[in-house]
Structure formats: C-alpha cells, structure tokens
Structure 1
C-alpha cells in the first residue's frame, strides 16, 4: 500500500540491480527506471550512482532506503492486521514457488485446496530460490516455497516436505549398468547444471562438498535455467544431470529417461518462507496446514 515509487526504489536498493528488481516486481526494466527517476525528481537529487557494471546508493539514497525499510514494514504490518480481522477466505493469494515446486508440486497440491476455498483466486509466481526470497522480502508474494535453506533474520522458514534427487540419463546410454552411482563416478560424466541461484544447484554443490568433490571438478557441458530444459538436453544425450525424482515421472512413464540413485542418497527439504509478522493472514495459515497434511499423505 506504500507509494509504488518507494516500493520500486526499495527493491532496487536492496538488490542493487535494476534488472533483478524488474524480475522480482514483474515489471520491465524501463518501467523500474522510470519509477526511480520520478522519485529522484521529487527529492531533486540522485539516489543511485550508476555505471555500466554497478549500481550503488548515494548518500541521499542511503537515507531514503533507511526510511523506505521502515515505511514498507509498517505498511505490510497494517495490511496484515486489517486482513487478519476478517474471517472471509476470498480475494487473491499470491504464492511463489521455485522452479521444481511451481511446475511439479503446486499443481496437484493446489487442486485440492482450491476445492475447499472456491472463492479464492490463487496466483503463482515462479523463480529460482533467490528470486522467491527477493519477492518475499519485497512483499510481492504472500508465501514462498523454496528448494534450499534460507537464512535471513526477517524471514520465517519451516520445513514443508522432503525430496529425493537422482541422476538422470538417456536410455541409450548404457554406461550405467548398475542401480546406483557414487559421487566419484560423476567426475567422468558430461554434466548439465542448473543456473547459479538455483536451489537444486545449491543442494548438489553441498552434497558434493560433503563427499570431498568441488563443483569445479565436474565436466560441465551445459548450464540451463529450468528442469524442462535439462530434461530435454538429457533426452538429446548431451549429458547427465541430477534432478528431483518428482520432475521426471512423465518421462519415466514414456521411457524417454532413466534414473540412477546416488550412493549415498541425495535428499533435501522444501521450505515455506514468509516474512516475520505479528499478524498472520488466515488463508496463508490454512494453506500451510493443508500443505503439511498433503506432504504426509503423499510421502
């Protein structure tokens, strides 16, 4: 509810990137630039020093950012307190899901929830884990579900469900005769990675680190931005990859992909992420409770 120009400025200042702010706010970069310039005109001063490779706050920008933090926080608290007075479960609920969750978990989860609350309009925003966290911090979404642990003092994080990751490969690739594969064997395989900032990539890197293997030791043949692109590349026999088992159910049924478990196994948790508020939106609480029951029933 706070001034739109201030919200846009606050997001740019927090991320120190006009491009990332545009992605987070689902705006074009020129629109973000226009909002910031309007605020600079209002204060008759520059708020950012811009070069071709870096954005940083001016002294005036630092002052505005300090007040914008307080204004945004108070505005969010006010909206939540007013909404919490109503028992009506209607209107919009905006959920952010990192790529695996938005594409493969949320559709079946929300199908049942929507039947219970038909008046509710559910909006899904998709991004990688870093993007979802940015949306939560900017109050663009009400609830985030991500694939990697999040550490931030102003965010509330709790486990949603567990997920197993497996090595996927083309069926014609008969170099993998056994049921499982060791981390050491990954060094010799052409590997397809998710992009930087991906929760899946962070989990794989942490797993390899525990096994004494650096990400730089992999023979990386390609980096791609989502699971569908990776599955397509593996189907084309460009390389192998590690993905959530939940993402390959259709391909397994069609026999266009096969998988091998890793030994030791690689698993992770999915997490709910939301801002720490004194007041919690009833519909968000209901969704979290419903999702926990869903996870128990499908595990």
Structure 2
C-alpha cells in the first residue's frame, strides 16, 4: 500500500466510480482500476463491490475509508517536518561553546536565532576547545565556538572574533599605580588564572613563557 493508492481509493470511494475518480487523481480510468486492484491485492481483501459502472464499499473498504484521511494527513505533516529539517528551519541544533563565549555573547546570538527559527530546538554544551573539537569530529556537535585556532585538518573555522585578555588587580596593588607595565615587572607577582587546559590559560602560559616571566600561581579558577 502506498500514498498514491490511498488517494485513488479515496477518490473512488467519494465518487463511487472509477471513471469519475480518474480526473480527480489525474489518471486514466484503467490506471485507477489497476491501482485499486493492486491495493486490494496488497491488503488481501476486496475494498469495493463492482455493480456495473457503480462501485460500493465493502466492510473492509469502509474501515479503510475511516482511517485513510488520517494516514494521509499524518504523512503530509511528516513530509512538511522533513522538508523543514532539510531547509534548516526545524529540528535540533547542537552547539558547543567555550565557557567564556557561553557566558558572554552566545546568549544574545541564540536569542536572535530563536526569534528567526522558533521551531529549532537548541542545545548548548559549554566546554574547553579541545574537547569541543573532538565532539565535532565525532558528530556529537553541529557547530562550536572555540577559543583557539582549529588545528584539525577536517574542521574548518568559518569566523574569527577578536578578543582581549587583560589583567585585573586590587586598587591598592602596586602595579595599578603604573601607567604601563613591562613583562619583567610581573616576576614573582601573585596570579589567579583559569584552569589548566582552558583557552585563556593556554594563551597566558604561552605569553609568559615567551616573555620569560616567572609568576607566582596562587589558584586555578574553574
């Protein structure tokens, strides 16, 4: 049984005639008759009684007539949903983002996306860039906002957003009295940094090593 056969069946049931049903389904009378025969053969029961040019529903035909419209409606609904998914306007979007991105600009971006595509279910997973990149490669995410350059050959960065890393200190810290701070002046200074492995920590560690500065780590901030 297929959808074309169901539509033909409904047309014949409404008109009680193969001839009258033919133009409604854009087929010849012989094609309509053949489709009904194939439908009856696939179901294993007669659906119509042939009385000359008139056809009447059997008990099985009346049962199918009761259910066929709902089947067609559900199928059309499913077609529409699948079409929307194919066009990117419904379904699920799995998004990965660094903790910094997830706590800053990502909420505004998702809010705008939600207004434009209300039928899309959004799932946000915060994490470190390396972990998110692995999830992308395993197809556990559809897109990710990373805090470092993509090194995997099979992943492509579509957009780069500039950002800055700054130092924050207490107002009474000696360094706050200076207009400019040279890297050497950070030797022995107490620091609280992001956890090891985070993108900002990786960038800071790289800069510290590059400048040959020795800081005093007080705490990792998770």
Secondary structure at 1:92 match in 2: strand
- The aligned residue for residue 219 of structure 1 is 216
- The aligned residue for residue 206 of structure 1 is 206
Secondary structure at 1:181 match in 2: coil
Q: Please state how far the C-alpha of 1:90 moved relative to its aligned partner.
A: 0.8
Q: 1:111, 1:204 → 2: CA distance?
A: 31
Q: 1:89, 1:190 → 2: CA distance?
A: 50
- The aligned residue for residue 105 of structure 1 is 105
Question: In structure 2, do the counterparts of structure 1 residues 141 and 192 end up closer, same or farther at CA, with 3 Å as the change threshold?
Answer: same
Structure number with bigger Rg: 2
- The aligned residue for residue 56 of structure 2 is none
- The aligned residue for residue 196 of structure 1 is 196
Q: Please state how far the C-alpha of 1:83 moved relative to its aligned partner.
A: 8.6
- The aligned residue for residue 185 of structure 1 is 185
- The aligned residue for residue 10 of structure 1 is none
The aligned runs of 1:96-245 (5 Å cut-off) are: 96-173=96-173, 175-213=175-213, 217-225=214-222
Alpha-carbon RMSD across the aligned residues, in angstroms, is 2.3
**Matched positions, count:** 141
Q: 2:184, 2:120 → 1: CA distance?
A: 49
TM-score normalised by the chain length of structure 1: 0.43
Q: Please state how far the C-alpha of 1:108 moved relative to its aligned partner.
A: 1.6
**Structure 1: gaps spanning 5 or more residues:** 1-81, 226-299
- The aligned residue for residue 262 of structure 1 is none
Q: 1:85, 1:222 → 2: CA distance?
A: 46
Q: 1:108, 1:180 → 2: CA distance?
A: 34
Q: Please state how far the C-alpha of 1:222 moved relative to its aligned partner.
A: 0.9
- The aligned residue for residue 295 of structure 1 is none
